[in-house]
């Protein structure tokens, strides 16, 4: 280690196979797969476990040692510690696609395949984070939070969406009571972290670029607003005698949209959940609960927008005589990727002749937990089409192979830096 070997790296880059990537994406998609090409493979289920077994079965023949921790994360390692950590997640949303997460794990395995074929000495740890999507366990990024000590202490006793406890679901999968606090690993185990992921947005496709260099992941505030008015008979209550909670909530929905639109692309705001009480055609709504979500790469912009939305909403509620109670349910700061890795990714793109652009991620990723913990980390986005979190999401194997070569060459570069440390 430590001595650059350009011929071995070139041979490894040449060994990256788009056919193998495509075949393995197909193989994984069969686990929890549906007839429309989509995947339902929720976190902390036996389908997710079967996907991990498949990934381990690809790496063990290359000389990798397999370990699974109590949070169900799969780590497969080769070479001396510290190592370059590469991977993504294997769970999906219900009726999701076959590329979100899986492509990052398949291409991480491809980095291992290529290094192995070229006998390139690269200390690697391939990871499949568990339960990234938060589809069964309510919060996302479960596995990476466990590795970096970011889970709440009582997490084992928390309920999954289906009513089971987290600790029971895990015991069913790994056959032992989980010690989740014991999953924590020191950041000195890792030279750096790389994650390839589909973009899940239209920017790369619209620019005709195969690959994006992620500069940061947006932060988010999510809050629940409860509007309380007065339920009344819809036929007998005149329009000027109503306290309609839904009408006030509707003004809030439009305020969220307006603040987002007026930001000039600096933030996005969404109301994605709304319930009306009592919820009957012949009753003026007495209550309404909705969730507002604001995301931005700038925490200051996000805080300002969130404040503005509440201000507008409260003023409208005052005018209408509606009470509004606000509860912040989640607040995640924006995460900048490591400058060193961003620069190394751009350098690799230039050296390999892969056209790329810098972009931010509007979706959350495990990389947030890794970088927040203090590991130098970065992400490579691959162009995707047909949206994401649906069966039609798509990424070309050639684009994925280009992204894999970038991850491989950055891994090689930071491994040599790490060895010099
Ligand atoms: Zn994902």
pLDDT digits (tens, 9 = 90+) for 78-88: 999 999 999 99
Q: Look at residue 97 and tell me whether its pLDDT is greater than 50.
A: yes
Q: How far is the CA of 197 from the centre of ligand 1 (A)?
A: 7
Quote the CA–CA distance of 16 and 412 in Å, as a whole number: 14
Q: How far is the CA of 58 from the centre of ligand 1 (A)?
A: 21
Query: What tens digit of pLDDT does each residue of 7-34 get?
Result: 899 999 999 999 999 999 999 999 999 9
- Reported as a pLDDT band with limits 50, 70 and 90, residue 331 is confident
User: Tokens representing 146?
Assistant: 């466990």
32 and 135 Cβ atoms separated by less than 8 Å: no
Q: How far is the CA of 364 from the centre of ligand 1 (A)?
A: 8
- Reported as a pLDDT band with limits 50, 70 and 90, residue 211 is very high
pLDDT attached to residue 79: 96
Q: How far is the CA of 230 from the centre of ligand 1 (A)?
A: 42
Q: How far is the CA of 199 from the centre of ligand 1 (A)?
A: 9
Segment among 54-68, 124-138, 219-233, 269-283 with least mean pLDDT: 124-138
pLDDT attached to residue 68: 96
Q: How many other C-beta atoms lie within 10 A of the C-beta of residue 235?
A: 8
pLDDT attached to residue 375: 97
Segment among 2-16, 29-43, 117-131 with least mean pLDDT: 2-16
Q: Look at residue 198 and tell me whether its pLDDT is greater than 60.
A: yes
With residue 308 as reference, give the H or E element that holds it.
helix 299-320
pLDDT attached to residue 139: 74
Q: How far is the CA of 95 from the centre of ligand 1 (A)?
A: 14
pLDDT attached to residue 4: 62
**Peptide bond preceding 278 in cis form (omega within 30 of 0):** yes
- Mean pLDDT (the chain, rounded): 94
Q: How far is the CA of 173 from the centre of ligand 1 (A)?
A: 22
Quote the CA–CA distance of 403 and 210 in Å, as a whole number: 8
For residue 219, which phi and psi values (nearest 5 degrees)? -90, 170
pLDDT attached to residue 332: 87
Q: How far is the CA of 88 from the centre of ligand 1 (A)?
A: 7
392 and 384 Cβ atoms separated by less than 8 Å: no
Q: Look at residue 138 and tell me whether its pLDDT is greater than 80.
A: no
Q: Which residue has the tokens 């976190």?
A: 43
Q: How far is the CA of 201 from the centre of ligand 1 (A)?
A: 12
Q: How far is the CA of 226 from the centre of ligand 1 (A)?
A: 31
Query: What tens digit of pLDDT does each residue of 365-396 get?
Result: 999 999 999 999 999 999 999 988 999 999 99
To the nearest whole percent, how much of the chain has pLDDT over 70?
98
Q: How far is the CA of 92 from the centre of ligand 1 (A)?
A: 8
Q: How far is the CA of 268 from the centre of ligand 1 (A)?
A: 19
Q: How far is the CA of 118 from the centre of ligand 1 (A)?
A: 30
Q: How far is the CA of 218 from the centre of ligand 1 (A)?
A: 14
Q: How far is the CA of 209 from the centre of ligand 1 (A)?
A: 20
- Reported as a pLDDT band with limits 50, 70 and 90, residue 399 is very high
Q: How far is the CA of 360 from the centre of ligand 1 (A)?
A: 15
- Reported as a pLDDT band with limits 50, 70 and 90, residue 216 is very high
Q: Look at residue 1 and tell me whether its pLDDT is greater than 60.
A: no
Q: How far is the CA of 3 from the centre of ligand 1 (A)?
A: 35
pLDDT attached to residue 136: 76
Q: How far is the CA of 132 from the centre of ligand 1 (A)?
A: 7
For the residues 151-176, what does the mean pLDDT come to? Answer: 89
pLDDT attached to residue 316: 95
97 and 39 Cβ atoms separated by less than 8 Å: yes
Q: How far is the CA of 98 from the centre of ligand 1 (A)?
A: 10
Q: What stretches of 142-244 show up as alpha helix (H) in DSSP?
A: 142-147, 166-174, 203-207
pLDDT attached to residue 166: 92
Helices (H) and strands (E) in the chain, counts: 12, 15
Q: Look at residue 131 and tell me whether its pLDDT is greater than 90.
A: yes
pLDDT attached to residue 2: 47
Q: What stretches of 60-123 show up as alpha helix (H) in DSSP?
A: 102-117
To the nearest whole percent, how much of the chain has pLDDT over 90?
89
Quote the CA–CA distance of 26 and 76 in Å, as a whole number: 21
Q: Give helix 397-420 / helix 102-117 axis angle, nearest 10°.
A: 60
Q: How far is the CA of 336 from the centre of ligand 1 (A)?
A: 18
Q: How far is the CA of 133 from the centre of ligand 1 (A)?
A: 7
Q: How far is the CA of 395 from the centre of ligand 1 (A)?
A: 13
Q: How far is the CA of 141 from the centre of ligand 1 (A)?
A: 9
Q: What burial class does residue 141 get, using C-beta atoms within 10 Å of its C-beta: 0-12 exposed, 13-18 middle, 19+ buried?
A: buried
Query: What tens digit of pLDDT does each residue of 299-317 get?
Result: 999 999 999 999 999 999 9
**Peptide bond preceding 82 in cis form (omega within 30 of 0):** yes
Q: How far is the CA of 347 from the centre of ligand 1 (A)?
A: 25
pLDDT attached to residue 420: 53
Q: How far is the CA of 389 from the centre of ligand 1 (A)?
A: 9
Q: How far is the CA of 332 from the centre of ligand 1 (A)?
A: 17
- Reported as a pLDDT band with limits 50, 70 and 90, residue 5 is confident
pLDDT attached to residue 419: 58
Q: How far is the CA of 302 from the centre of ligand 1 (A)?
A: 23
């Amino acid at each position: 280690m430590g001595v650059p070997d350009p011929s071995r790296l070139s041979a490894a880059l040449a060994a990256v196979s788009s056919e193998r990537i495509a075949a393995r994406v197909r193989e994984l998609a069969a686990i929890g797969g549906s007839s429309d090409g989509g995947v339902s493979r929720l976190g902390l289920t036996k389908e997710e476990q079967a996907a991990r077994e498949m990934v381990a079965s690809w790496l063990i023949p290359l000389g990798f040692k397999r370990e699974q921790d109590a949070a169900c994360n799969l780590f497969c390692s080769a070479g001396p510690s510290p190592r370059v950590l590469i991977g993504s997640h294997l769970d999906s949303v219900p009726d999701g696609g076959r590329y979100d997460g899986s492509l990052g794990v398949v291409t991480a395995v491809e980095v291992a395949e290529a290094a192995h074929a070229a006998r390139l000495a690269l200390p690697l740890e391939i990871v499949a984070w568990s339960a990234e999507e938060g589809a069964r366990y309510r919060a996302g990024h479960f596995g990476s939070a466990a590795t970096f000590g970011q889970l709440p202490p009582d997490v084992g006793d928390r309920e999954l969406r289906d009513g089971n406890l987290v600790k029971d679901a895990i015991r069913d999968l790994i056959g032992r009571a989980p010690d989740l606090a014991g999953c924590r690993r020191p950041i000195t185990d890792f030279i750096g972290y790389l994650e390839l992921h589909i973009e899940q947005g239209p920017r790369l496709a619209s620019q005709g670029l195969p690959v994006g260099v992620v500069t940061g992941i947006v932060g988010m505030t999510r809050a629940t607003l409860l509007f309380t008015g007065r339920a009344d008979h819809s036929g007998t209550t005149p329009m000027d005698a109503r306290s309609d909670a839904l009408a006030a909530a509707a003004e809030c929905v439009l305020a969220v949209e307006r603040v987002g639109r007026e930001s000039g692309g600096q933030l996005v705001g969404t109301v994605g959940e709304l319930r009306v009480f009592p919820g009957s055609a012949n009753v003026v709504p007495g209550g309404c609960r909705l969730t507002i979500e604001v995301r931005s790469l700038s925490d200051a912009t996000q805080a300002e927008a969130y404040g503005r939305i509440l201000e507008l909403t409260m003023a409208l509620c005052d005018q209408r005589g509606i009470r509004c109670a606000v509860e912040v349910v989640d607040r995640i700061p924006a995460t900048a990727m490591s400058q060193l890795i961003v620069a190394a990714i751009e350098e690799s793109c230039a050296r390999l002749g892969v056209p790329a652009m810098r972009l931010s991620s509007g979706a959350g990723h495990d990389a947030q937990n890794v970088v927040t913990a203090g590991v130098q980390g970065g992400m490579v986005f691959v162009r995707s089409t047909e949206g994401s979190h649906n069966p039609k999401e798509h990424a070309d194997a050639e684009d994925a192979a280009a992204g894999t070569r970038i991850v491989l060459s950055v891994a090689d570069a930071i491994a040599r830096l790490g060895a010099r440390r």
